[in-house]
A and B are shown apart, each in its own frame.
Chain A
Amino acid sequence: DAGITQSPRHKVTETGTPVTLRCHQTENHRYMYWYRQDPGHGLRLIHYSYGVKDTDKGEVSDGYSVSRSKTEDFLLTLESATSSQTSVYFCAISAERGLRSSYEQYFGPGTRLTVT
């Protein structure tokens, strides 16, 4: 258990509304990631963070923004949700080099988002 929680766990929202998903970690890890999981695609990286206020885009970043104002929280925002963003969203962390291998990622429980 890497101490990762995600909120909400389920959400249904309407097209065009803003949505923010939260990832919270309790172990002070530097690196955090957001993935989405869709049938037939596995998991795909949306954005990642390598420190407070340090973020970068992943493979499928269009339509998403992120923020990290504290080490423990990584927020994913859909500014104007679309039906194509219906998915399961996973947060992950990887540790600092020297504490636990920084090459292993540990995942939160996921958030199922439905955009109607």
Chain B
Amino acid sequence: AQTVTQSQPEMSVQEAETVTLSCTYDTSESNYYLFWYKQPPSRQMILVIRQEAYKQQNATENRFSVNFQKAAKSFSLKISDSQLGDTAMYFCAFMKRNSGYSTLTFGKGTMLLVSP
């Protein structure tokens, strides 16, 4: 079974600054995907970024980037130029690569507060 650990229950950052959220995971699989989801106060789960384990290059989506360290089983999310709208709960998630369906294992989340 896979486990995902987010060791920071809460973090805060000021607007325009950079913040990094940590995530580690444990698995014996070699083919898998990792994701960061954002959940703002609206409760909607929003996919932020994904990383395929077989890719060495770190994924980037606008102000969001990851630092994927496969050997260390670490997958951190960096948010640059933080905005008030980034205030949300952030979940790291692991997905084992199956032939068709896919099931996610989530961490417990990190609450990020962006202040003016």
- A104 touching B47 by the CB < 8 A rule? yes
Interface size class of A (residues with CB under 8 A): 20 to 34
Residues of B within 8 A of A (CB): 4, 33, 35, 37, 43-45, 47, 50, 91, 93, 95, 97, 100-104, 106-109
- A42 touching B91 by the CB < 8 A rule? yes
Of residues 22 through 66 on chain A, the ones whose CB sits less than 8 Å from some CB of chain B are 30-31, 33, 35, 40-45, 48, 50, 58
- A94 touching B106 by the CB < 8 A rule? no
Closest residue to A40 on the B side, CB-wise? B108
- Count of CB-CB pairs between chains A and B under 8 Å: 59
* A83 is an interface residue with CB less than 8 A from chain B: no
Give the complex CA separation of A102 and B45 in angstroms.
Answer: 17
- A42 touching B106 by the CB < 8 A rule? yes
- Looking at the assembled complex, report how far the CB atom of B26 sits from the nearest CB atom of chain A, in whole angstroms: 15
- B104 touching A105 by the CB < 8 A rule? yes
Give the complex CA separation of A97 and B101 in angstroms.
Answer: 9
Q: CB < 8 Å: which of B33, B97, B104 contacts A43?
A: B104
24 contacting pairs across A/B (C-beta < 8 A):
A31-B100, A31-B102, A41-B108, A42-B4, A42-B106, A42-B108, A42-B109, A43-B91, A43-B104, A44-B106, A45-B104, A48-B103, A50-B100, A92-B104, A102-B100, A102-B102, A104-B47, A105-B95, A105-B102, A107-B44, A107-B45, A109-B44, A110-B43, A110-B44
